[in-house]
Amino acid sequence: MTIATRNIFASVPPPASDEQLTALLTTTNMRLERIVSHAHASPEGFWYDQEWAEWVIVLKGSAGLHFEGESAPRVLSPGDYIDIPAHARHRVAWTDATEPTVWLALHYR
């Protein structure tokens, strides 16, 4: 059996028009992915309303995560994490414009 060792910061893609998502581990009840953002934000007026809950941590960079009904985005810095219940409407207000924002997101039932 071969067990590979990898690094979450390896092969961070250059800026692109969309965030880059990389599936790291997938089962029937969960999906773990790396998200790389380069000054990305959700489109104006768009809100995520996801079927699965999502636990997310910012590993590098920063982001503003805005929840419906809140007056301002929550600022996430490296090490900050949040558990988002299913159907909690939210959007990415902004991500760092000076460096990539690297997120680790666990989507689960």
Per-residue pLDDT of the chain (109 residues; tens, 9 = 90+): 899 999 999 999 999 999 999 999 999 999 999 999 999 999 999 999 999 999 999 999 999 999 999 999 999 999 999 999 999 999 999 999 999 999 999 999 9
In angstroms, the CA 99 to CA 61 distance is: 6
Edge-to-edge strand list for the sheet holding 63-67: 74-76, 63-67, 90-95
pTM, two decimal places? 0.93
In angstroms, the CA 14 to CA 1 distance is: 33
Q: Do residues 32 and 106 touch, judged by C-beta distance below 8 A?
A: yes
* 92 CB neighbour count, 10 Å cutoff: 22
Domain ranges of the chain: 20-108
Q: Do residues 8 and 58 touch, judged by C-beta distance below 8 A?
A: no
CATH class of residue range 20-108: mainly beta
